[in-house]
């Protein structure tokens, strides 16, 4: 008789308050050569894993999941597939910070005191990472993902109950709609989270129809998943700025961190408009008061027909739990239709 239980080994981490669950074992190798191919297989044939770990009773939609997989690129030390409430983003700053921290502190990637370079393969391509290690702990992660670009400027949509909302569409691992929060009376503090979530939900639903879903190199990337709300920019010193920021993940999540990809999208828009220059930095502050530092690295060239911009995102990840999840395949709360075939055989 087939044993009805399967197990998953997890390392739960957080960066800027956003929890990423790193799945280190329990899942069979996925078809596909590149991490992008593996991610698309998982999305089409194994989405039950994402739903299981982001839903009650096993998880919460505000979390993220990162599945460790074999990399394809010879420079990469590991691959990772990112799963969130909205689906499968190609790249994520906070998830990269958390995944790198978990792999280093667990010993999956040997940790070296001081500074060391780590290369991970995301579905979008290589993430080049600088880790700072002090006394056997990862103190900071600085990650450079793929170039960001401004896809469309000066867009607007009529949102029921809210009126006209102006926005710009920027690619940074996924498409972000960048919205000036001050135009809609938001200060981007914690007390506004419920109202901001309702606004984000109504906005994304209204903005999606007819909006760009293609990436010049990655193909179809699906409907708009993120809105990034921008507060006023304040100068801290020469070449240093800060700004309140909030990222909405559809459906229904305001991130605890300001998000790395949201910060990169903001930097690309500012750089294209001449509001920030190479070597200058923007510190984004989430409604919970958590911060990431984004540094503009200058113009990369082009992605397709778009001017593209590189940036560094610096933050810190912390391990909050090591766990083994037991999945009962006979539990009526577990949908095994696109999940059971993913598990490693029970011993």
Which residues participate in catalysis according to the annotation? 92
CA 59, 226, 166, 241 torsion: positive or negative? positive
Torsion-angle region of residue 48: left (phi > 0), alpha (psi -120 to 50) or beta?
alpha
Rg, Å, the chain Cα set = 20
CA distances from 198 to 19, 166, 193, 251, 263 (A): 22, 17, 9, 10, 22
How far is 278 from 131, CA to CA, in rounded Å? 22
Q: What is the per-residue DSSP string for 195-247?
A: HHHHHHHHHHHHH-TT---EETTTEE--S--EEEEE---EEEETTEEEEEEEE
H or E element, residue 182: none
Burial letters 144-163, b for 16+ CB under 10 A, else e: bbbbbbbbeeebebebeeee
Query: Helices H, strands E: what count in the chain?
Result: 5, 20
Up-side HSE of residue 57: CA atoms within 13 Å toward CB?
8
Distance CA 93, CA 149 (A): 16
| Residues sharing a CB contact under 8 Å with residue 2, sequence separation 6 or more, in sequence order | 346
Angle between helix axes 260-272 and 93-105 (nearest 10 degrees) is 130
Q: Which of 171, 173, 227 is nearest to 201 (CA)?
A: 227
């Amino acid at each position: 008789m087939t044993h009805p239980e399967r197990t998953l080994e997890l390392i739960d981490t957080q960066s800027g308050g956003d929890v990423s669950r790193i799945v280190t074992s329990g899942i069979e190798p996925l078809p596909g050569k590149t991490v992008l191919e593996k991610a698309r297989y998982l999305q089409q044939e194994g989405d039950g894993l994402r739903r299981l770990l982001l839903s009650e009773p096993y998880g919460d939609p505000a979390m993220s999941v990162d599945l460790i997989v074999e990399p394809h690129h010879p420079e990469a030390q590991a691959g990772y597939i990112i799963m969130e409430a909205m689906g499968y983003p190609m790249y994520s700053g906070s998830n990269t910070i958390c995944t790198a921290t978990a792999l280093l502190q667990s010993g999956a990637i040997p940790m070296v005191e001081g500074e060391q370079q780590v290369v991970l393969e995301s579905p979008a391509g290589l993430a080049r990472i600088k880790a700072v290690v002090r006394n056997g702990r990862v103190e900071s992660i600085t990650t450079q993902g793929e170039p960001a670009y401004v896809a469309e400027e000066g867009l607007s949509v009529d949102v029921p109950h809210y009126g006209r909302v102006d926005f710009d569409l920027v690619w940074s691992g996924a498409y972000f709609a960048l919205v000036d929060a001050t135009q809609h009376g938001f200060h981007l503090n914690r007390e506004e989270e419920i109202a901001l979530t309702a606004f984000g939900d109504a906005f994304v639903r209204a903005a999606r129809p007819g909006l760009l879903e293609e990436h010049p190199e990655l193909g179809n990337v699906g409907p708009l998943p993120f809105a990034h709300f921008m507060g006023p920019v304040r100068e801290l010193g020469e070449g240093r700025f800060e700004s309140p920021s909030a990222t909405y993940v559809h459906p229904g999540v305001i991130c605890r961190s300001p998000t790395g990809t949201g910060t990169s999208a903001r930097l690309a828009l500012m750089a294209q408009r001449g509001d920030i220059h190479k070597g200058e930095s923007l510190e984004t502050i989430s409604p919970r008061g958590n911060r990431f530092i984004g540094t503009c690295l200058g113009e990369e060239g082009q992605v397709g027909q778009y001017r593209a911009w590189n940036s560094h995102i610096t933050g810190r990840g912390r391990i909050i739990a090591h766990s083994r999840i037991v999945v009962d395949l006979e539990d009526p709360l577990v949908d095994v239709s696109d999940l059971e075939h993913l598990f490693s055989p029970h011993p």
